[in-house]
Structure 1
Amino acid sequence: MDHVLDHVGIAVRSIDDVLPFYLNVLNGLLEDRYTSDAPGVEVHVAVVRTNDKVIELLEPTNKNSPIARFIKQRGKGVHHIAYRVEDLDKAILEAKEKGIRFLEDTLRTNTRGRRLIYINPASTAGTLVELCGYPND
């Protein structure tokens, strides 16, 4: 199964503070901006496209959100790399057959309809990797 780079998630303290860099310096286009208040997510998201690449700026909505904890532990910066797959359930099964472990509680459909799950960083040498699929494609 093909895994195509979908986006890079970047943890920031304030989207409004960093957005001008992505729009004015990198000539990005703000495609979407939304908030997810789902427990265990709790994040403001700005989706910026530069040519054919997508960056998601992730700002915590409260001090206990996963992004807030990430910033406290590791600082601002790259939070995760996401790969798009055609069939998320099949990709999960194939990865598990190869010994890959997932953060099972992260399996969900986000507010924009993207199904996703994160791979346990223990299986990726420390990098948080998201697998995602777009059921409406």
Structure 2
Amino acid sequence: MEYVLDHVGIAVRSIDDALPFYLNVLNGSLEDRYTSDTPGVEVHVAVVRTNDKVIELLEPTNKNSPMARFIKQRGKGVYHIAYRVDDLDKAILEASKKGVRFLEDTLRTNTRGRRLIYVNPASTDGTLIELCSYLNN
């Protein structure tokens, strides 16, 4: 299974405050901006491309969202690292056979056609890792 860095999710208090750095300093381009109201997600998202890499700025939509709790506990900064795979089901199966645990309730397809699941941070020494694939590939 090949794992390719897909994007980095960054927790921010305000996308509007954070966005100028990524656009004006890193010369990124804003590819998309949307809100995910999915229970357990609840974030505003700004998708920024810098050359061949993607950064997702993630702003909580309410004070009880998982993103708001993350910022309260750990502060702003890197929230997760996402790796793209060709076959998400196969990647989950292969990793599970190697003892990797997943946060099963995070398996979903987002509104942009990305199918994803998060690896339990206990399996990654504390880093939240997303595995994803795209329906339009």
TM range, smaller chain: over 0.9
SS at match of 2:7: strand
SS of the counterpart of 2:13?
A: coil
The residue that corresponds to 2:121 in the other structure is: 121
Aligned length: 137
Q: Report what 1:133 is aligned to.
A: 133
Paired residue for 2:9?
Answer: 9
In structure 1, the partner of 2:69 is 69
Cα distance in 1 for residues equivalent to 2:47 and 2:133: 17
**Runs of 4 or more consecutive aligned structure 1 residues displaced over 2 Å after TM superposition:** none
Secondary structure of 2:57 counterpart:
strand
Give the superposition deviation at 1:83.
0.0
Identity of aligned residues (%): 88
Aligned to 2:39: 39
Report the 3-state secondary structure (helix = DSSP H, G, I; strand = E; otherwise coil) of the residue aligned with 2:5: strand
The alignment status of 1:89 with 2:60, answered yes or no, reads no
Q: What 5-or-longer segments of structure 2 have no aligned partner? A: none
Q: Aligned AA for 1:76? A: K
Once the two structures are TM-superposed, the CA of residue 75 in structure 1 deviates from its matched residue by 0.4
In structure 2, what residue type is equivalent to 1:53? K
Give, as a single letter, the amino acid of the residue that structure 2 aligns with 1:42: E
Please state how far the C-alpha of 1:111 moved relative to its aligned partner: 1.0
TM-score by length of 2: 0.99
- State the AA in 1 paired with 2:37: D
TM superposition shift of 1:108: 0.5
Distance of 2:33 and 2:49 partners within structure 1: 12
Map of 1:59 onto structure 2:
59
1:64 and 1:100 map into 2 onto residues whose CA distance is: 28
Alpha-carbon deviation of 1:93? Answer: 0.3
- The match for 2:24 is 24
| Structure 2 CA distance for aligned equivalents of residues 57 and 51 of structure 1 | 16
Question: Partners of 2:110 and 2:41 in 1: how far apart?
Answer: 9
The 2-side partners of 1:109 and 1:44 are apart by 17
Q: Distance in 2 between matches of 1:58 and 1:127?
A: 17
Residue aligned with 2:92, SS: helix
- Quote the RMSD (CA, aligned, Å): 0.4
